[in-house]
A and B are shown apart, each in its own frame.
Chain A
Amino acid sequence: MSTAYAEPLSFSLTEADALAQKAARGAGLGWGMAEEAGFAVRWLCGYGADGLGALLACLAAQRSMPHLVPGQVIGQGQGLLCPLHTGSVLLDSVEISDGPLAGPLQLAPLCQPLLMLPFLAQAASVLGQQLVVAYKAATVALPGPAPLPVAPSALCGALRLGLGTPLGPEWRGPTARVPQGRAACDAATLAALELLALKTTVPATEASRRSGAGAGTNDND
């Protein structure tokens, strides 16, 4: 992708989003969930986090699907909870009056928990109330000007989710504010994501080379 820029490689958020979608699809997620991966990566990169790295690690791991029981999200299947499916179902459910975000919620340990934060930030915006993620001895409140934990690994382990203080008008609304910025990642992450993205493509055949884009006649006139 790059020949002239040194590491860390710099991307527009649009590129990061598009690459995330293709890689997620290439790794086997449905197209709609791949769009969520793009949204999450864009949001994280906009805040300066390594969204692409987190996505790659997530896609490479075995993940369990979220299963909702009252007051809890538990994993179904092998591996840590998938942050994309978990974040999506929580955000999808935000307007359900007795839904999972109506009260305190216990979450089983997540794979790459950073990837769930964009969904929580948006859910909080819809609720008009901060969502507080409690882990080990600290908390992160979403959304906010500094929504990321100091060390991404801090979110490992079981999490508790609860409602925090009401949001000011600048944070309320149907969509969480996505900051503008640039995305960055190292060459190895880029290469691995591009390899996954390539799985969404189809190798050429002689027939497709002839007819694929439709140029059959001379185009040099």
Chain B
Amino acid sequence: MTQPHSQPATPRSYYRSPAQVMRLARMGSAHPMRLSFLRILLRRMRQDNWRFERHLWQVDARGVGRAVYCAHGPKRSYSLVAFAHDLPDHMRSDRVIATAWDATFALFDGVPSRQDLDRLQQNVPLQEAGRIGPRELTLSRANRSVRLFTHVVGALAAGRQPDATELQEVGYLMRTTAVYGAGKFGAADRADIAQRPEMAAPFQAEMLTVWLIRWFTVDIVNHLATQQGGAQAVALVPELCRQLGVGNSTGLGMAPFLVRHPVLLNNWIFAREEALARVRALPMATPQQLVGLRAALADAEENASSWRSSHPVQVEKLASLRADLACIRDYIQTWPGTAPQPWNALWHWGEATLSLEGQEALLALMLEPHGDFVDGLAECLSADEQASFRINGALPLGQLRQIVAQHYAWALRTDFNDPAQMARFWYVSEEKLEPRLGDRHAEPGADQEQPLAIAHLVQALWADLQAQPETLPLARFLLAHPQHRLVVRRVLRAPSHPFAEVQDNLIADTMLPIDLMRCKLAFFGASHFDPRSDKWVRISLFRGMPYPTDLAQGAPA
């Protein structure tokens, strides 16, 4: 593995600037790539020869019961504990506010005893209304894709394979509606596991959970088919299994995450941009890399052809993406030619030719054949947020003003006297305790606005800084103006974290929350981004990727 610090410094001209990268429109065009978290998980599990087993299967004829799937690594084991339920159709909802699901899950640290399973059975099916403890790393639930699930069980029970087109149309048997980790509902704290190599990269416990859920979804359809069809039933064949991922349905709850975790956001984007710069700086394209690029492009085209959405914005973006991928295919027929730094030439061509959707897809393609230069950056993705929490109040206000002027010019430019720029406000709903987006000019509740309108907060700070002496220490200013404390903490991080801020107004009437969600989900490794509205999306995870059992047999990750 390539260590980040052993790389020679890449010249600055190969890097994109935060002003270019940190715009919502571009973040909302992000694609999964080599540094996506589920790819990191699969690489590690393959490299370290993890072993997998279905440890327990106690599911009755109606499909109700419990199951345990274990992943055994070099030092530790993790187990997905699954509870299968018989859910009446009218109770099935993907909304986070649902109270019953087709299946509920927890990822257990180790291999659970019978007592552990009994304890979890009391709590996991209740989800938010139950409690888990320090031995649990995640809590999750999933609902069936009713149409596909019924079709697949019916076909298998009748002794035939389901229709491949139907399978591709939906892409998953079940979709999760939440995967909670990092200390939520009593689970182990992130800090408890962050030192473990297999959990060091972000969201590895969550990704492992979803990957093992995918295994469960195939087992449960095979089980129900056998119950229905008896001796005549057949199992879903591996080629069709492979086409199935796990769906995920997510609403506004996910959108504020990137704003609330600026250091983490910085590290994710920084690692990806570093990867791109390293590839752009390469002096040549080897035949092997060319083969890798072509293969990645073929996969991307296949992915784009099976990507469905009915959201007008995404429909347009998909059309651009398909056209852009065809354009890339044409271009690389005669590429690299004899140009020096051919990857940089390819990138410049892409920036001049392709839509944002196509440019970000090209980025993912260019990283693909360069694992040796890119994969080591996985170690740079996590963040110790506490390390930059303390405010150095010795800083003279003159210097604070300089930082604001240099790093927040984008925020100071916004005209908040324009009602359209103040149109929304983020809040937490009392009823559901979930983030929501309100209309400031029409709905009550703006007095409980969440501090996510960073540009607006920066302007308020800027205004109060004007009358202050240059040499006054920040500590004195904050003692008199404690209301600026949150934004001051962010501003102080800016010089060392250039990609920490989304450089757009997050309360403008034109702001699309799905852009924030797309960026985060692409880092997870999600494909088939399908907005169901401006605030609610469905995606697919692990589609086309190996199953735990394939990995043990040497399938590429």
Interface residues of A (CB under 8 A from B): 1-5, 10-15, 29-33, 35-36, 39, 65-66, 68, 85, 88-89, 91-97, 99, 122, 126, 174-175, 178, 180, 182, 198-205, 207-209, 212-217, 219-221
Stretch in B104-112, B365-373, B413-421, B473-481 with 4+ CB within 8 Å of A? B473-481
In whole angstroms, what is the CA distance A175 to B183 when docked? Answer: 21
Measured between beta carbons, the chain A residues less than 8 angstroms from B340 are none
Pair A66/B438 contact, Cβ less than 8 Å: no
Is the pair A219, B249 in contact by a Cβ cutoff of 8 Å? yes
**Nearest CB of chain B from residue A38's CB, rounded to whole Å:** 10
- Whether B238 is near chain A, meaning CB under 8 Å from some CB there, is no
Which residues 176-223 of B have a CB within 8 angstroms of A? 182-192
Contact A92/B428 with A13-B189, A213-B96, A221-B145 known, Cβ cut-off 8 Å? no
Given the interface pairs A12-B187, A13-B183, A203-B430, the reply to whether A32 lies near B532 with Cβ below 8 Å is no
Contact pattern, B 402-443, Cβ under 8 Å of A = 1, otherwise 0: 000000000000000000000000011111111011100011
The interface residues of chain A lying within 8 Å CB-to-CB of B534 are: 214
Nearest-Cβ distance from residue B127 to partner chain A, whole angstroms: 12
A-side contacts of B123, CB under 8 Å: 3-4
**Residues on the A chain within 8 Å of B474, using CB:** 92
Kindly state the separation between the CA atoms of A33 and B482 in the bound complex, as whole angstroms: 7
Q: Which stretch (B224-232, B263-271, B321-329, B383-391) binds chain A? A: B383-391
The answer to whether A93 and B475 have CB atoms under 8 Å apart is: yes
Please report the C-alpha to C-alpha distance between residue A95 and residue B474 in the assembled complex, in whole angstroms: 11
11 further A-B contacts with Cβ under 8 Å, apart from A12-B134, A96-B393, A213-B536, are A4-B131, A10-B133, A15-B183, A30-B485, A32-B482, A201-B430, A205-B444, A208-B429, A212-B438, A213-B432, A215-B536
Among all A-B residue pairs, the 3 with the closest Cβ atoms: A32-B485, A214-B535, A14-B183
A13 near B131: Cβ-Cβ < 8 Å: no
Q: How would residues 127 to 150 of chain B score, 1 for a CB under 8 Å from any chain A CB and 0 otherwise? A: 001110110000000010111000
Which residues on the B side are within 8 Å of A91 (C-beta)?
A: 390-391, 393
Per-residue CB contact flags for chain B residues 141-180 toward chain A (1 = under 8 Å, else 0) read 0010111000000000000000000000000000000000
Give B residues with C-beta under 8 Å from A.
Answer: 89, 92-97, 122-123, 126, 129-131, 133-134, 143, 145-147, 182-192, 249, 251-253, 386-387, 389-394, 427-434, 436-438, 442-445, 448, 451, 473-475, 478-479, 482-489, 513, 532-536
Q: A202-B444, A212-B437 are in contact. Are A220 and B89 (CB under 8 A)?
A: yes
A201 with B482, Cβ < 8 A, contacts A12-B134, A95-B393 known: no
Residues of A near B473 (CB, < 8 A) are 93, 96, 99
Is A68 in contact with B392, judged by CB distance below 8 angstroms? no
30 contacts between A and B (CB under 8 A): A2-B131, A4-B130, A4-B131, A5-B186, A10-B133, A12-B187, A14-B184, A14-B189, A32-B482, A32-B484, A32-B486, A39-B386, A85-B482, A89-B393, A92-B393, A92-B478, A99-B473, A174-B387, A175-B387, A199-B448, A201-B430, A202-B445, A202-B448, A203-B445, A213-B535, A214-B533, A214-B534, A215-B95, A215-B532, A215-B535
What is the CA–CA distance of A212 and B74 in the complex, to the nearest angstrom?
A: 46
Considering only CB atoms, which chain B residue lies closest to A90 in the complex? Answer: B475
Contact A5 B448 (CB under 8 A): no
Q: Are A220 and B146 in contact (CB under 8 A)?
A: yes
Please name the residue on chain B nearest to A205 by beta carbon.
B443
- Is the pair B94, A219 in contact by a Cβ cutoff of 8 Å? yes
Contact B475 A99 (CB under 8 A): yes
CB distance from B396 to the nearest CB of A (A): 10
Question: What are the residues of chain A within 8 A of B251 when measuring CB–CB?
Answer: 213-215
A12 to B, closest residue via Cβ: B183
Contact of A202 with B184 at beta-carbon distance under 8 Å, contacts A96-B473, A219-B249 already known = no
Contact B479 A89 (CB under 8 A): yes
Q: Which residues of B contact A39 (CB under 8 A)?
A: 386, 389
- Closest chain-A Cβ to B5's Cβ sits at a distance in Å of 21
B482 touches A213 (CB 8 A): no
Please determine whether B486 and A12 come into contact, CB atoms closer than 8 angstroms: no
Partner of B434, one of A2, A35, A213: A213
- Which residues of chain A come closer than 8 Å to B96, judged between CB atoms? 213
CB within 8 A of A202: which of B438, B486, B536?
A: B438
Q: Nearest-CB distance from B167 to chain A (Å)?
A: 15
A12: chain B residues within 8 A (beta carbon): 134, 183-184, 186-189
Q: What is the CA–CA distance of A109 and B394 in the complex, to the nearest angstrom?
A: 26
Known A2-B131, A15-B186, A220-B92; judge A89-B478 contact (CB<8 A). Answer: yes
In Å, the complex CA distance between A10 and B451 comes to: 29
In the complex, A205 Cα to B438 Cα: how many Å?
11
B393 touches A31 (CB 8 A): no
Central interface residue in A11, A33, A39, A214, by most chain B CB within 10 Å: A214
Chain A residues within an 8 Å CB radius of B436: 202, 208, 212-213
How many angstroms between the C-alpha atoms of A203 and B474 in the bound complex? 37
State A212–B430 Cα separation when bound (angstroms): 12
Q: Is there an interface contact between B392 and A95, defined as CB atoms closer than 8 Å?
A: yes
Residues of A within 8 A of B387 (CB): 174-175
- Residue of B whose beta carbon sits closest to that of A200: B448
Separation of A93 and B390 alpha carbons in the complex (Å):
11
Bound-complex Cα distance A11 to B184 (A): 9
B189 & A204 in contact (Cβ 8 Å cutoff):
no
Given A14-B184, A92-B474, A204-B429, A32 contacting B489 (CB threshold 8 A): yes
CA distance in complex: A30, B473 (Å): 20
B8 to chain A minimum Cβ distance, whole angstroms, is 29
CB pair B429–A201 under 8 Å, yes or no, is yes
Q: Which chain A positions have C-beta within 8 A of B126? A: 3
A199's nearest neighbour on chain B, judged by CB, is B448
C-alpha spacing A66/B482, complex, angstroms: 12
A214 and chain B: residue at smallest CB distance: B535
A182 to chain B, nearest CB (A): 7
Q: Which of B89, B93, B475, B484 contacts A92, CB < 8 Å?
A: B475
Among B89, B443, B448, point to the contact of A201 (Cβ < 8 A). B448
Nearest B residue to A198 via CB reads B430
List, in ascending order, chain A residues with CB within 8 A of B93's CB: 219-220
Contacts of A30 on B, CB cut-off 8 Å? 482-486
Minimum distance in angstroms from B497 CB to a CB of chain A: 15
Q: Considering residues B134, B185, B479, B532, which has the most beta carbons from chain A within 10 angstroms of its beta carbon?
A: B479
Specify which chain B residues have a CB less than 8 angstroms from the CB of A203 in the assembled complex: 429-431, 445
Most buried by A among B92, B253, B431: B431
Q: A215 to chain B: which residues have CB within 8 Å?
A: 94-95, 251, 532-533, 535-536
Task: Check if B390 sits within 8 Å of A174, measured CB to CB.
Answer: yes
Neighbouring B residues of A65 by C-beta, 8 Å: 479
Minimum CB–CB distance from B366 to chain A (whole Å) comes to 34
CB distance from B471 to the nearest CB of A (A): 12
